[in-house]
Amino acid sequence: MSDSHINLLVTGALGRMGKAVIDCSANDDAIKIVHQIDVGDSLLAVLPDCNTVIDFSFHAFTAELLRACVDLEKRIVIGTTGHSDDEVKLIEEASKMIPIVFAPNYSVGVNLLFWMSGKASEILGENFDIEVMEMHHRLKKDAPSGTAKRLAEILAESRGLIYNEHAQHGRDGIIGERPKNEIGVHALRGGDVVGDHTVTYAAVGERVELSHKASSRDTFANGAIRASKWLQDKPAGLYDMQDVLELK
């Protein structure tokens, strides 16, 4: 599977991210946006004309998109977040047949934060309690953000813990003392915040914070476009932005 030119389909084209992808690829000679679709448009009517899909839509659309892309052997860059465990399994299955980049965050800075967070956790050790905090605009539909979830997964892995068992989403009531092996995950919503993420490592006597703040969706759009180019000569497989940026 290798093409010299990217004939792109943008799904979720009327959304905030879909529009950013369309704007950011407008002056890119390597990319031709052949079709753009949103709710109500037929995927199968347009997919044959394209070799690559960039998808920032809604998690419930992913199964249909995967089926069509596997049948017609198309590459996909999935930006959509909020998938259930079963939906993630579908992505993993499809990646045995087609090349897929699936990343909760396409910004270079956040991918550096992913890398640094794991390293900091290893260096600081178990005396530091870990909390992840994210803030997004009031229209965001899923929580916690895919990025916060990935951060918590990386932090859990660095301590030999399991995200589903050790993540604590918010706190309320008489909850008792903080268990040592807990990773707190907190989602703030409001205004037009594009995406803030902070990992706090708190010990007795000191605290370390690693933060990333996105101020424009173009950073995610440009990362997804970069991923779509990187994907062109790759075999079937499941890749993330750490692969694209060679941070692994």
Helix, strand or coil for residue 165? Answer: helix
Distance CA 209, CA 201 (A): 6
* CA contacts within 13 A on the Cβ side of 74: 27
Angle value at C-alpha 50, between 246 and 68, nearest 5 degrees: 90
Among the listed residues 35, 54, 56, 155, the single contact to ligand NAD using CB under 6 A: 56
136 is annotated as an active-site residue: yes
Distance CA 104, CA 123 (A): 25
* Nearer Cβ to ligand NAD (38/73): 38
Among the listed residues 3, 23, 39, 233, the single contact to ligand NAD using CB under 6 A: 39
Distance CA 148, CA 240 (A): 15
Q: State the binding string over 77-106 for ligand NAD (x if CB under 6 A, else -).
A: --xxxx--------------------xxxx
234 is annotated as an active-site residue: no
Among the listed residues 22, 46, 61, 169, the single contact to ligand NAD using CB under 6 A: 61
* Nearer Cβ to ligand NAD (103/135): 103
* Nearer Cβ to ligand NAD (124/143): 143
Q: Please tell me which residue in 35, 74, 83, 136 is annotated as part of the active site.
A: 136
Q: Can residue 36 be called a binding residue for ligand NAD (CB under 6 A)?
A: no
Token reading at 225: 């476009």
Which residues, numbered 206-235, are part of the site for ligand NAD (CB under 6 A)?
Answer: 220
Stretch that binds ligand NAD, among 8-16, 44-52, 67-75, 177-185 (CB under 6 A): 8-16
Contact between 199 and 151 (Cβ < 8 Å) = yes
Which residues, numbered 188-207, are part of the site for ligand NAD (CB under 6 A)?
Answer: none
Strand order of the sheet with strand 206-214?
167-169, 183-189, 129-136, 195-203, 206-214
Contact between 151 and 104 (Cβ < 8 Å) = no
The catalytic site residues sit at: 136, 140
Residues lying near ligand NAD in the complex (CB under 6 A) are found at 11-12, 14-18, 37-39, 56-58, 61, 79-82, 103-106, 142, 220
